[in-house]
Structure 1
Amino acid sequence: MLEFKILEKERINEIIPLVYKLNQKEIPFDVLEERFSEMVGQNYECAVMIINDLIIGVCGLWYCTRHYSGKSVEPDHVFIEDAFRGKGYGKQFFDWIYAYVSEKGYEAIELNTYVSNHKSHKFYFNEDFKILGYHFLKWL
């Protein structure tokens, strides 16, 4: 049975194997553990998709208020295990996320996706997301 929920903060390490795959194993596992340990104390929640007690999908949710979009949430590190892709689960997951954040009073969703992740671009366009700008990063 397919289930969507917010993962309890003390269980955050359970999603690290999925995020490790998402980042193509470029960020060391122990670094991810350290970062997620810090993230759970910020304006962050982690939504998960579960089948038969197995986490098969993950989506971080960052909450803030921005001058141009009001109360907004940013889905982050969205990942669904390969064996469960192409079955409509991503759409169901995002429909659940839309309802969940709407109930919390949020009025906009904005996100970043890797330039090379063409499948995600197609998915987000199909979900009526529009390109608003570019995301820049500078390492210090």
Structure 2
Amino acid sequence: MSKLNVKRLYKEDINNFLPLIQELMGHRLDDAILKERFKEMFDHKYECHGIYVDETLAGVFGLWFATRHYCGKTCEQDHVYIKPEYRSMGLGKQVFKWIYNYAKEKGCETAELNSYVENYPSHKFYLNENYVIKGYHFLKSLD
């Protein structure tokens, strides 16, 4: 199992982590659009963290903090991505252990996330982490 280091990333670090977000999304959005969206995200209860292995950025994830009526204070994991060459090394388990500890330190009672319907490997991972499927996430374009 590889040793990882999780480091908080800020607005100024966007050029470092944006390529990983683009890999996760399949390069569906223009960099300028993503930069503008992340700029706004950082102004809310959002944090971005890098996953480093031997000082190399191997992955990225975001965390949203909120209080929800159905689960209390929660930490929502967002855009969890580990580069393909770093997968199957146990990093995911280490990252989620770090997230759970960090969220507890911030007073969170629960952890939650969304996963793309077609991302079957992530479903298996999250179910093994004892996540429970509670519903469907719906999205409607307003253009």
- Provide the TM-score with structure 1 as the length reference: 0.95
The corresponding residue for 2:89 is 87
**5+ residue gaps, structure 2:** none
The corresponding residue for 2:76 is 74
One-letter amino acid matched to 1:94: F
The list of structure 1 runs, each at least 4 consecutive aligned residues, that deviate by more than 2 angstroms after superposition, is none
One-letter amino acid matched to 1:56: A
The total of aligned residue pairs comes to 140
Q: Deviations over 1:62-104 (max 9, x none)?
A: 1110001000111011100000001100110000010011011
Q: Which moved more, 1:26-35 or 1:108-117?
A: 26-35
Q: Is the 8 A contact 1:113 1:120 kept in 2?
A: yes
The 5 Å alignment of 1:123-138 reads 123-138=125-140
Q: Is the 8 A contact 2:4 2:94 kept in 1?
A: no
Are 1:44 and 2:46 matched, yes or no?
A: yes
CA deviation after TM superposition for structure 1 residue 29, in Å: 1.7
The 5 Å alignment of 1:1-140 reads 2-140=4-142
Q: Is the 8 A contact 2:11 2:38 kept in 1?
A: no
Q: Distance in 1 between matches of 2:54 and 2:9?
A: 15
Q: Is the 8 A contact 2:64 2:78 kept in 1?
A: yes
Q: CA RMSD in A?
A: 1.1
Q: Is the 8 A contact 1:62 1:74 kept in 2?
A: yes
- Provide the TM-score with structure 2 as the length reference: 0.93
One-letter amino acid matched to 1:132: K
Q: Distance in 2 between matches of 1:9 and 1:17?
A: 14
Counterpart of 1:134 in 2: which secondary structure?
A: coil
One-letter amino acid matched to 1:3: N
Q: Is the 8 A contact 1:70 1:108 kept in 2?
A: yes
